Chains A and B, each alone.
Chain A
Amino acid sequence: MATAVESRPAAPAKGSSKGAGMSEGQKKTWWAVADLVVLLYALVPVLWILSLSFKTTDTITDGNFFPRSWTLDNYAQIFQIGLFTAALRNSIGIALISTVLAVVIGTMAAYAIARLDFPGKKVLVGVSLLIAMFPQISLVSPLFDIFRGIGIFDTWLGLILPYITFALPLAIYTLSAFFREIPWELEKAAKMDGATPLQAFRSVIVPLAAPGVFTTAILVFIFCWNDFLFAISLTSTSRSQTATVAIANFTGASQFAEPTGSIAAAAVLLTIPIIVFVLFFQRRIVAGLTSGAVKG
C-alpha cells in the first residue's frame, strides 16, 4: 500500500546534479531510464493488486495481468459487509488525530532540539531514537494487559497513544533536520525588527518550516494508516478496528474459498486516502523555500 506513495517523490528526479562528461541529452535519457526502473519496481505489485480487484472469482487465479472479464463485484462485496465501512472510518479518524498530535508535539520538541542548548538534550535525542529502534512486538502483550486494566482496550485512544509514541521519534528527527536548515539569523533579524519570540516563530519560522511539517505529516500518517500489529492486538470489535485488521478478517464464500478478490479491492481502497493526502500536501512541499534568505 505504501509503495504507491513512495514512488511519487521519485518521479521528479534531481536533474540538477552535474554529471561530468555527459551531454544534456544523454543525461536526460539516463535519468528517464532510472526513473522508469524505479517506477516499475514500485508500481508493478500495486497494478497487480488493482488487476486482481477487478477479476471475477473464477478468473482470479488465471495469472493474467489484464483481467479477461471485468467486474466490480469485489468492491460491491466489501461494502456489503458493514464492518469494512466502520473500519475505514476508524482508520481515518485514528490516523488523522495521531498525525495532528504527533506533528504538533514533534514541532515543538524539534524546535527546542534544533535551537536551544539545554541539559539533557543529548539524552532526550538518544531516548527518542531508542524508542524508534524498540521492537514493537515486544510491547504488544504488556500494552494489551495495561490497556485492559485501565479500560482503553479496543478504543481509539488505545491506538492513538502507541501511534504517537512511535511516530514522535520520526517526527522529531525529520522536523529538527528542517529547523536546522532555517538560518538562525532570520530569528535574530525578526527580534531586531521588533518581534516578540512568539511573533518571530509564527511569522518567520513556521512559514519556513511548513515543508518540513507537511513532509512529517505525510510520513506519520502513512505510518499510522499502515499499522497492523497494534491494530490487531489492541482492538476486538468494529468500535475501533482499523481497515488493515478488517481486511485480515475477511472471509470467503465458503470456508475453503480465499477472499482474494475482496482483499485486493480493499487494498486498493486503502491506498486512495494516502494518495489524496500526499497530493494535497505535496504542493506545499516546495523545496528550497529558504533560498535567498542568506547568501551561501
Chain B
Amino acid sequence: MADIVLDHVYKRYPDGTLGADDVNIEIADGEFIILVGPSGCGKSTTLNMIAGLEDISDGELRIGGQRMNERAPKDRDIAMVFQSYALYPHMTVRENMAFPLKLAKVDKAEIDRKVTDAAKILDLTQHLDRKPANMSGGQRQRVAMGRAIVRSPKAFLMDEPLSNLDAKLRVQMRTMVSKLQQRLETTTVYVTHDQTEAMTLGDRIVVMRSGVVQQIGSPQHLYDHPANLFVAGFIGSPAMNFLPARLENDSLRTALGDLALSDQVRQTLSSSGAERDVIVGIRPEHFEDAALIEEGIRHQGSTFSAQVDVLESMGSDKFAYFTIEEQATSDELAELAADAGTADVPGGDAGQLVTRLSAASGASEGQSVDVWVDTSKLQVFDPKNGKNLTASEAAPATV
C-alpha cells in the first residue's frame, strides 16, 4: 500500500518523441485511477515509467514517499497486468502464480496457501494444473490477475487488461476487477481505451493527449465540467455535440437559432470578453422533445425545429439525429474524430447533431419536430485553444 506521485515527469524517447510531457499526478493510497486518451497519447509510457520498464527522462517518481527513478522494477514492489497477459507458457497456472513468490524466496507452504487463496478469489481452483495455451481468454486474464495479487504488492498497474476480451466477457471482468480492487484496497493505475471502463471503474480519471495531461478528476466531474474541448469530446458516449457559434451580448448565435444564455453561464462568460466566435458544446441528453417540456421550465432553454434524419428507439430513450450545415473545427476535434475513426466516414459524427429524447416523444423519421435545449447546461469553448469558458472558474481545482 502506498501513494504514487509523479512530479513534473517527462519522457523523451531517443528519436525525440515526447511520450510524457510534464506529467503531474498524485495518486492517493488505495485509489483506483484511470489513464485514458486516444492511441499514442502516452498512457503506456506513463504506466511503464511507474513500473520501471521505461526510464524517466526528467522529474521524479515517488512511491510511498520514496524516490523510485533509479530503482529496478523488481525493487519497486509493484505488480503489473499486461494487455497481452504475458503468461509464462511453459508453466502451469499454479507455477505462473507462484513465480513472483518463488523469486521473493517465500517458503513453500506459504506459497501454496497464497496461490490457493488467489485461485479461490479468481475462480481458478480447478484450472491450477493447466497450461495457459489450453485456456480461454477470460481464464488467462484471471491468471494474469492472480499473478499480480498473490504478492500483495504496493500497487497494481494494468495496461488495457481487458481489451483482448470480447464484449460480454469484458463486462464480467470489469465487475470482477472493480470488486477485487475494493476488496484488496491496493492503489491501482489502470490504462484503458474504453469509455465505460473509464467511467465505471475509477475513483478519478486522467485524460491525456500527446503526452500532456488534460484534466484529472472524478468521472462525474469530467463529464459535467470538462476543462477543454478535448476532454469534452472524449468523455461521454454518444459524444457531446459541437457547434460553431457567435457570442453576441446575451445570446449565442448558432445553426440551431439563437440560444439564450442562462444567468450562470452569462456571468462566467462576461468576464472572458465581448463579441467573439466560440464553439458551443451540448450533450445529447440536454435536448428534449419540446412537447414534453412543462411550460414552467420551458423558458430555461431555447427551442428550435428541425427535420429528423434518423431515429433510433432504444426502448428507454429515442436518439434523434439531425443534420447541421456548419461544423465546428479545431485541432482537438479533428484528433478526436481521427481516433474514433469517424473522420472520413461519410455521414459520420461530422455535421450531425445527436439528441436523446425521452421515449414518450412523438418524433419520427423524416418529420419535423420541435426540440428544446437546456441552455443552462451549455458548455462554451474557445476555438483557438479549446479552453472551456464556462466551467473553469466554478470548478474546484483539479490539476
Contacts and interface: CB of A to CB of B under 8 A. Distances in A.
A108 B165 CA distance: 36
Contacts of A292: 87, 89, 131-135, 140
A196 B72 CA distance: 9
A193 to B, nearest CB: 4
Interface in B86-118: 86-90, 99-100, 103-104
Contacts of A293: 84-89, 132
Interface in A253-296: 288-296
A188 B86 contact: yes
Contact of B82 (A188, A195, A204, A208): A188
Interface in A26-55: none
A193 B99 contact: yes
A105 interface: no
Contacts of A288: 133
Determine which residue in A194, A203, A292 has the highest number of CB atoms from chain B within 10 A of its CB, and name it: A194
B124 interface: no
B236 interface: no
Contacts of A189: 80, 82, 86-88, 147
Contact of B133 (A185, A196, A203, A291): A291
B72 A191 contact: yes
Determine which residue in B53, B73, B90, B132 has the highest number of CB atoms from chain A within 10 A of its CB, and name it: B90
Interface in B112-159: 131-135, 137, 140, 147, 151
Contacts of A207: 90
Contact of B86 (A208, A291, A294, A296): A294
A185 B84 contact: yes
A237 interface: no
Interface in A169-204: 183, 185-186, 188-196, 199, 203-204
A204 B90 CA distance: 8
A254 to B, nearest CB: 61
B90 A186 contact: no
A196 B74 CA distance: 7
Contacts of B103: 193-195, 199
A186 B82 CA distance: 9
Nearest to A292: B133
A183 B52 CA distance: 18
Interface in B71-85: 72-74, 78-80, 82, 84-85
Given A194-B104, A292-B131, A185 B82 contact: yes
Interface in B31-64: 51-53
B100 A294 contact: no
Nearest to B131: A292
B164 A296 contact: yes
A206 to B, nearest CB: 10
Interface of B: 51-53, 72-74, 78-80, 82, 84-90, 99-100, 103-104, 131-135, 137, 140, 147, 151, 164
